Amino acid sequence: MNFITNRTKNILIVEDQPYQAELLSQLIADLRPNYLIDDCLCDIQSSISYLQKKDPDLIFMDIELGDDLCFEIFNKVSFNAPVIYCTSHHEFALEAFYKNGIHFLTKPLTEARVRDGIEKFEQLENQLSNPDFKTNVEYQTNNKFLLNVGRFTVPIDKDTIKYAYLKEKVVYIVTITGKVYTSDKTLDDFISQLGSKKFFRLNRQFITHVDFIDKYSSLEGGRIEVRFKEHELDNQFVSFKKRNQFLNWMNE
């Protein structure tokens, strides 16, 4: 896929460690000479002041700053710029994607990791800049699931979705390429919008694509145990109440 790489982009870096900020600046300059580092900031307040006046095209943001977590910035100022988060800790990944996040870079930063983040940004920019993008999405709605990621809307081929599950009130969507998305929709909303007979809600926490099921067996009491082609995934159980519905779905 050809991404837009020849347009000047204004980049903001928010990083409290000077070495990391310098390294990231150099990697961006090497990968995209047309990207301009507009500023490198190191704390919450200076970032708030900057974003009250300017609207960068892309932000690289460390999560744990010296004075607080970077998410405090979002409580003080509203902005639309997509954010690529950089951190050594994964426990903040979920909140990051709710805060304009489009990509998550694990430290130590490398050229390959930064390139992946930039290409993700350019892919999303390329979709939005395509004059036919909106028409294509509307035309392909029956084959696409539209997911909000930061300020972008990402169309996902329905047949690339393996399963979705609910954990701590958040819906996770997993694709055949291993990508994991989060959604603020309920599982009821999710399966309704999928509108495909290839998916089935096994229980309150889990929806699966039919091709992802390896085998299933009946249990005492009429329940059904479902096993998946990825054996590290926990088995799921279908209640006696949904037993016939599940069997009819499998036989379609």
Instruction: Kindly report, residue by residue over 217-231, the tens digit of the pLDDT.
Output: 999 889 999 999 887
Average pLDDT, the chain: 83
Nearest Cα to Cα of residue 207 among 224, 178, 222, 186 = 186
Q: Where a domain ends, among 129, 144, 176? A: 129
CA 220/CA 208 separation, integer angstroms:
23
Q: Where a domain ends, among 129, 144, 173? A: 129
- Tell me the average pLDDT across 81-96: 78
Q: How confident is the model at residue 194 (pLDDT cuts 50, 70, 90)?
A: confident
CA 27/CA 166 separation, integer angstroms:
37
Place of tokens 């020849």: 6
Token pair for 173: 């969507």
Q: What is the CATH classification number for the domain harbouring 168?
A: 2.40.50.1020
Place of tokens 């990697």: 27
In one-letter notation, the amino acid at residue 234 is D
Structural domain of residue 18, as residue ranges?
A: 9-129
Distances in Å between the Cα of 138 and the Cα atoms of 30, 142, 151 are 38, 9, 18
Instruction: Kindly report, residue by residue over 95-129, the tens digit of the pLDDT.
Output: 676 678 888 888 889 999 999 999 988 887 776 55
Helix, strand counts (H, E) of the chain: 7, 15
Is pLDDT of 45 > 70? yes
Judge if 142 and 118 occupy the same domain: no
Judge if 148 and 71 occupy the same domain: no
Is pLDDT of 1 > 90? no
213: enclosing H helix or E strand: strand 213-218
Instruction: Kindly report, residue by residue over 132-165, the tens digit of the pLDDT.
Output: 444 333 333 456 777 766 556 677 888 888 999 9
Q: Where a domain ends, among 110, 129, 148? A: 129
The SS3 assignment for 60 reads: strand
Instruction: Kindly report, residue by residue over 228-241, the tens digit of the pLDDT.
Output: 988 778 899 999 99
Judge if 155 and 199 occupy the same domain: yes
